[in-house]
Chains A and B, each alone.
Chain A
Amino acid sequence: MTSKAKKRKSDGAVVNDVTLAEAVQYLTSCKSRPKIQGNVELQNSLNKIDCVATETGLPAEDITTLVSVAANGTFPEAICSRLIRNLIPATVVPSEAVIRAISWMSTNIPSSKIQGLLVRWIILIYNMLDTLNDLHALYGVLFYFLENEVMCRSVCHLLYLLTRKEDVKLFRVRLLVRLQKRLVFFPQRDRVWLARIKAVADRQIVEGPVIDVTGRYTSEQAKRLKRDVIPSVQSTAVTTLSSDLPKSFGQSVPFSEITSFQLLLQNFDRLELPCQMAAALKNRNLQHVLLCYPDPSIPMRLSYWLDHVLCEEFLVNPSKDPSRAEELLQNLITFTEFLKESVPVCENFLVKYLHVWNGVDFRPSVLKLITRFRLHPFKVLSDLVLEPLRKLFLCSSVYCKCQLLIMFTQLLYNLVTVELLRYRICCKWQQGKNNLEISSVDDSNNVCVFTEEVEEFNPEETISQYVEYVGNLIEVGLLIEQDSPLLMHCILNFYEVLSDLHLEHSMMLIILPRPSVVYTSLFSNSATSLSRMCHIFCRYRENFLSMKNVEVTSLSACDQQYRIMSLKRIKQFNMFIMDYSNSLWRRLAFCDTEKRTIFQMLSETDLENVDSNLYRQCFSLYRHPALVGYFVSYLKPHSNGERRLILSSFKASSGYVKQN
């Protein structure tokens, strides 16, 4: 072999011809301070490990061995750190490996840089550990590492992941409060490293089960763990719930054992809540607890977690795999639907996300979450939420416009059914809290899980301005889409909800549909639009009648004002009715003899040369383009087999229609 070839080989550029087992075997057998320069076998072994780790990840037993190799000081720092960076697990990491790492760290043989690296590695593979109990047993030991300046941040992060309720002791809190002044956030390091670990984990999911490990998780569960954002229910006390024996009084029951609603009811007074409240997103029993447990720290814990995860998954570090984010949103939707309440941190996230949203990613889920928004002053609601949606509405396809309109309808429904009442109760509760001694009022109100300070504003004002905003979009949308029947359908849905504000939701507010929508329905080719509009008019009439009969004295000043304002709209409503009945029933379309009609499309001079019967009758019941098909099928039994329809028979039938 020439010297040139030798040199090439020593650089490690030559293809590996060792197996992983041989490589690990070589590294373990090395004596202290082996030759590095020109050591072909060492280079080959390292390259092989590098290669296997990146492609499939390392098996559990090799990870344990390699942790010792990296930490026992046999090799120089550069090689150790390369080894640690390659400790990418194929499925799970045995807790044995982590314990070895911590015990080597305690001996001070590895340099502080290597120690720091080991802690960072533990953080990265934290979710892949087969059991957490062994690591948790070393909690006290880990706490002492806080003294080390280099590792302080990483150890804080690890402790944050590891801390359970019983770990919180006064002396620890004191130390951490002191530290907190220096460290505000956990650093977002190791992105590339994490990405490598994730890449291997994702590949394992695709390729199917590889290794079955004994321990806490089967490989199936471990794979789910890597993919899922939402943690499962885990409790500290690992006692088995023996169903035969009743629990002794005072002994707490870990939540992981509550598998049914029945068990929840039996043990409700001695529950031990899980380590991570975020599990509530997936666990219906925990959601029940969230609803009726008086402890305000529970929703707060969930909020902190959600805030962090939503930001991380969607804004800071969006994953290439959308199914993970989609699943998170779906769980969040089920959760908010169950509570009938939006999570304030989720609202904050949506506000941020809407501004950079492209209008396509996760559209159904994002829109569904917006429908649960709380009542805010309209200026706030408009600037933060409605403005980005308006921009999207104006430059999107007709399907997207319809989706948005359905969302607007659901939001309106949510505002008037749930949020209005909640806002009023919250306001009262807040006033009571400010006026009275705090001790005499309940610390949490009973209408929201996630309590927030509410601003004083007029909720009816918000709702009517919101309707105004949607009305504007509807008018422009109809013009852009040239009266698309699909869009019209969604618009009529909106007005169906709006027409019943007084009767169904007992609000002193009636807002009429936009004239452009009313007349588009009247002149449309679709019988559904026309008849649904007529139905909406019937609902409006009943609402107006009922509002007129309300006892004025029982109303608040504000409601009285709204009542007067709403009743003023009867005049315009009557004009709509006149136009509809003039066109459909009385064959007097476009006539303003009684000065009641509000649509006057043609001036008298334009109509001089046109046969007045022609345009007056063209939108009557039997000539209306939307209804003419129905009219013909109605007349067919009366036509006696003749192809020409006889007008006299029609007159009789029109009388028939009127009578009924």
Chain B
Amino acid sequence: MSRDLNQFETLRKDELLPFNKLPIFMQEVMLIVGIQGIGKHALAKAIVESSTSKTLQCRTATHLPLPEEHSAERPRIDMVVFMIDSRSSASYIQVEQSLQYINRQYFLGKICFIATKVPTETQNLEVESITQLCDDHGSCLFWMDPTSGADRTVVAKKLLEMLNISAGLKPGITPLLTDCTHRLLNMQSF
């Protein structure tokens, strides 16, 4: 990440924080960020349908920071999902800007990216630039066909698994621990 490290030290008022509120018992909250018309609500619906838990919340936003009003009533957000539309560079830029309002704690396995799979003729963004963005933030990237309901369910199930871990509902495991299996983070000597 190219941002100045000192910037992290001063706590910004509009920054999204993972631990500033107490968790609600057995509750998981996911925030989906992406431009209008990208299919956030369809995805959220698929997630809620695949979930067995009754206390799952999916919230959506077009960009960050979240508005200041009602921020007190908002629950703690366990995971942030960014959606990128491969057809529009505006969505890429918006995600890039929104990323600046995320506290660094989220980057320890509490965010992930979804890029839409579109026919090559209409693809506007380079695949490399999307994967580069995700690699820079050390997080997962899923490709999703926005027109296929089956594909959406597949992605929704994966997101649920990640959410379970990042909301702390799996005993003995944290998002950071799962990240430690990465080759570059693997400290265990051979």
Binding site for B on A (CB under 8 A): 316, 355-360, 379, 382-383, 386-387, 390-391, 394-397, 464-465, 468-469, 472-473, 476, 479-480, 482
Contact = CB atoms under 8 A, between A and B. Distances in A.
B143 A476 contact: no
Given A390-B181, A468-B190, A316 B173 contact: no
A358 B178 contact: no
A365 B53 CA distance: 33
Contact of B173 (A358, A360, A480): A480
Those 5 A-B pairs whose CB atoms lie nearest each other, nearest first? A395-B158, A472-B181, A395-B161, A479-B173, A356-B143
A469 B190 CA distance: 10
Nearest to B150: A360
Contacts of A359: 154, 158
A480 B171 CA distance: 8
Nearest to B157: A397
Nearest to B139: A391
A396 B161 contact: yes
Interface of A is mostly: helix
A356 B116 CA distance: 10
B190 A464 contact: yes
A316 B158 CA distance: 25
A473 B186 CA distance: 11
9 contacts: A355-B131, A359-B154, A360-B154, A394-B181, A395-B162, A464-B190, A472-B180, A476-B178, A479-B177
Nearest to A315: B120
Contact of B183 (A356, A394, A469, A476): A469
A394 B159 CA distance: 11
B140 A473 contact: no
Interface residue SS majority, chain B: mixed
Contact of B154 (A358, A379, A465, A482): A358
B172 A479 contact: yes
A242 B183 CA distance: 63
Contacts of A387: 182-183
Given A390-B182, A396-B157, 17 more contacts: A316-B120, A355-B131, A356-B127, A358-B142, A360-B154, A390-B181, A391-B140, A394-B178, A395-B140, A395-B159, A464-B190, A468-B186, A476-B177, A476-B181, A479-B172, A479-B173, A482-B170
B7 to A, nearest CB: 29
Contacts of B158: 359, 395-396
Contacts of A464: 190
A379 B170 CA distance: 31
Contacts of A465: 190
Given A356-B117, A387-B183, A472-B186, A480 B170 contact: yes
A84 B180 CA distance: 60
Contacts of A395: 140, 158-159, 161-162
A316 B118 CA distance: 10
Of A316, A394, A482, the most chain B CB neighbours within 10 A belong to A394
Contacts of B47: none
Contacts of B120: 316
B126 interface: no
A394 B166 CA distance: 12
B155 interface: yes
A378 to B, nearest CB: 8
